[in-house]
Amino acid sequence: MKSMIGGASAALLGIAMAAAPQAANAGVVGEYNACGTENLSVPVAAAGHTWVSVGTLDAASLQPLDALVLRTCGTYGGNPDVDAAVADGMDLILDTTGVNSAVLPGAPAMNFNIGGCQNNYSLAPASPVTTGPGGTLTDDSLDVGGPGGTGGWCSIMGATSIAALPAGAIPFVTTADGLNAGALGYSHGAGQVAVSNSQWSHTVVYTPSEYLYAGIKTYFINSLAWGLSTGVREHQSCASEGYTGTKLEWCKNIC
């Protein structure tokens, strides 16, 4: 389940009762980064979330998280603990240079083998990541080299047909012809998944000298906001925290 307040401890919940309520989508955001030292701690904090580094993708490490940014810089092979956490309400922002959709949470019917090695992209019409707490994206902001993908490394490494997307899946970023999605979002259980099949976490493109550097951070933070837009993971109930009587009713009203 998801709650419209963050996964707070009992002490923090008590403070929340006496203070103004937090933003509905503020949460604990973990980042598992297999791509080097670059991380999203500063923009995640600026967006109002609590950032934590995740070193192991196991159930114990994922349980406190409302969302996970998972950056592989390689092929994603899947993880049953990640799948279970998403089903339980954790949102997943996954960036991978290669993926078989059978290993994604919920195993959605997608084929990311279309339109590989793209330098030039477009935002999908009504893409939910166009604007958000990370800023505003344009059709050129995720291009490698410069506007229109004028050079440099590949960015999108593979795309899937938009016409064949499962019901409910939302294209975020497309190939220039608008036919295939290199980044998209969908729901699984109580959580949401944003997946990009790209090199946006890779050191050769994710550096300040590259044109798309700022756009990548904007994409990640706006995707995170999309995931958390349905609320944050419900880590505990008011009753399980020991509240009774009037305090229990206050807690329920906040939640």
CB atoms under 10 Å from CB of 138, counted, come to: 13
DSSP state, residue 159: B
Residue 65 CA to residue 245 CA, distance in Å, equals 29
Torsion of CA 239, 244, 250, 255, to 10 degrees: 0
Please check whether residue 186 is in contact with residue 108, taking contact to mean a CB–CB distance below 8 angstroms.
yes
Looking at residue 242, what is its pLDDT?
52
Looking at residue 246, what is its pLDDT?
74
* Amino acid in position 212: L
Identify the H or E element spanning 83. helix 80-87
* pTM score: 0.84
For each of the chain's 255 residues, which pLDDT tens digit applies?
676 544 433 333 333 323 323 344 789 999 999 998 889 999 999 999 999 999 999 999 999 999 999 999 999 999 999 999 999 999 999 999 999 999 999 999 999 998 888 888 899 999 999 999 999 999 999 998 888 888 778 889 999 999 999 999 999 999 989 999 999 999 999 999 999 999 999 988 888 988 899 999 999 999 999 999 988 887 654 544 455 667 656 655 654
Looking at residue 230, what is its pLDDT?
86
Please check whether residue 194 is in contact with residue 26, taking contact to mean a CB–CB distance below 8 angstroms.
no
Q: What does the radius of gyration of the chain's CA atoms come to, in whole angstroms?
A: 18
